[in-house]
């Protein structure tokens, strides 16, 4: 059986997990190389995963023998350039979310992908999470009737250090966190979001406002076919990593939630259950299923389950949310590059 040769670009936390999964848990793939601008980090990951090749740039990795596909897990800002380069080299691509930080970049990426004909998948891994998968099946089976309201919550435990805001290589809250829910909204409601309205706050950490970011947000959603929704995002919930989604329909509702109760401690303080504190723990299975599917998709020559178009559409909602936040009024969701940006 042919194994797919994959290289991972960017071996921070996220890329490293992809590399580990490819190396250890995806028998149909062969991790042939890792690359990182921090070449030392790439070397170390290569050594730990016992693979031979590590590089300091995508360009050099692309020359590695046996490389069929690349996983792009750089900071958000560099997605666009990396995708264009990898596509030009004819490599299939799994690109982490968000697709890009602007619609102009996103369009260039999709064009590059389309021109070269490489396969392209965007890293909305929640679509691979077992609970979300079951939720989707039950919605499709009509168990909640017609979807009426979409609700989602995404809370990270600890806010990024100020240096992360300062470096400016990743998008603001809407692009790094809420983008997952924007994708879930489209996917689970099987509809498009036409307009959004956002309130944001950074009152408990005013410094982040200087970098154009916010600590928390609530985004109202209006869907094309009449449904409505709301997404809450919070960068520093402190108590844990907490993701919950609910789709409320005409007949019932379905909830997906990260608050488990596998373990309960009963003490005088009350009934205590541990809360997950980290996305890589909560979604470990989803990340693995995602990369397995990516590999199989290519080996079996199937269309990707999460396309570049999906990446673009979620991005367009994030852009609209940011516009609403900046302008203090609802903003239409549009995939067109705004004139001002041309």
Compare residues 101 and 248 and give the one whose CB is closer to a second copy.
Answer: 248
Q: How far is the CB of 48 from a second copy (least distance, A)?
A: 11
DSSP symbol at 101: S
Return phi, psi of residue 289, to 5°.
-60, -35
Q: Which one of residues 52, 65, 264, 301 is an interface residue with a second copy (CB under 8 A)?
A: 264
* 138 is an interface residue for a second copy by CB under 8 A: yes
Q: How far is the CB of 220 from a second copy (least distance, A)?
A: 5
* 190 is an interface residue for a second copy by CB under 8 A: no
Q: Select the span of 65-73, 84-92, 314-322, 327-335 touching a second copy (CB under 8 A).
A: 327-335
| 276 class by beta-carbon count within 10 Å (0-12 exposed, 13-18 middle, 19+ buried) | middle
* 155 is an interface residue for a second copy by CB under 8 A: yes
Sign of CA dihedral 308, 311, 317, 319: negative
Instruction: For residue 2, count other CB atoms closer than 10 A to its CB.
Output: 8
Q: How far is the CB of 90 from a second copy (least distance, A)?
A: 28
Those residues whose C-beta lies under 8 Å from the C-beta of residue 303, and which sit 6 or more positions away, are 119, 297
Q: Select the span of 36-44, 108-116, 139-147, 293-301 touching a second copy (CB under 8 A).
A: 139-147
Interaction with a second copy in 203-262: which residues (CB under 8 A)? 203-204, 215-222, 225-230, 232, 234, 236-240, 242, 248, 250-262
DSSP symbol at 338: P
* 289 is an interface residue for a second copy by CB under 8 A: no
Angle at 260 between CA 258 and CA 263, to 5 degrees: 150
Interaction with a second copy in 48-77: which residues (CB under 8 A)? 50
Q: Name the packing angle between helices 308-327 and 179-189 (round to 10°).
A: 120
């Amino acid at each position: 059986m042919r194994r797919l040769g994959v290289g991972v670009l960017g071996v921070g936390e996220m890329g490293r997990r992809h590399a580990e999964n490819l190396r250890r848990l995806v028998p149909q793939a062969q991790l042939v190389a890792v690359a990182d601008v921090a070449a030392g980090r790439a070397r170390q990951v290569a050594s730990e995963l016992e693979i031979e090749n590590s590089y300091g740039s995508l360009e050099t990795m692309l020359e590695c023998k046996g490389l069929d596909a690349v996983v792009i897990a750089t900071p958000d800002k560099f997605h666009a350039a990396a995708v264009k380069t990898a596509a030009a080299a004819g490599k299939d691509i799994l690109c982490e979310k968000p697709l890009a930080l602007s619609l102009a970049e996103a369009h260039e990426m999709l064009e590059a992908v389309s021109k070269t004909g490489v396969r392209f998948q965007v890293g909305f891994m929640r679509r691979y999470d077992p609970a979300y998968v079951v939720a989707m099946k039950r919605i499709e089976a009509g168990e909640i009737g017609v979807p009426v309201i979409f609700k989602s919550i995404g809370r990270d435990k600890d806010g990024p250090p100020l240096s992360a805001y300062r470096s400016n290589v990743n998008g603001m809250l809407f692009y790094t966190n809420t983008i997952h829910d924007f994708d879930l909204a489209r996917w689970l409601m099987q509809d498009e979001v036409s307009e959004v309205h956002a309130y944001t706050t950074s009152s408990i950490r005013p410094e982040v406002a200087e970098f154009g970011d916010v600590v928390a947000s609530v985004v109202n959603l209006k869907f094309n076919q009449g449904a409505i929704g709301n997404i809450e995002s919070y960068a520093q919930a402190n108590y844990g990593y907490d993701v919950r989604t609910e789709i409320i329909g005409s007949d019932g509702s379905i909830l997906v939630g990260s608050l488990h109760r596998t373990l309960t401690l009963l003490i005088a303080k009350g009934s205590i259950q541990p809360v997950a504190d980290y996305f890589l723990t909560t979604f470990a299975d989803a990340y693995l299923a995602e990369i397995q599917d990516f590999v199989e998709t290519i080996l079996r020559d199937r269309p990707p389950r999460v396309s570049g178009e999906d990446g673009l559409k979620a991005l367009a909602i994030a852009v609209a949310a940011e516009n609403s936040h900046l302008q203090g009024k609802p903003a239409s969701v549009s995939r067109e590059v705004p004139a001002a940006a041309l």
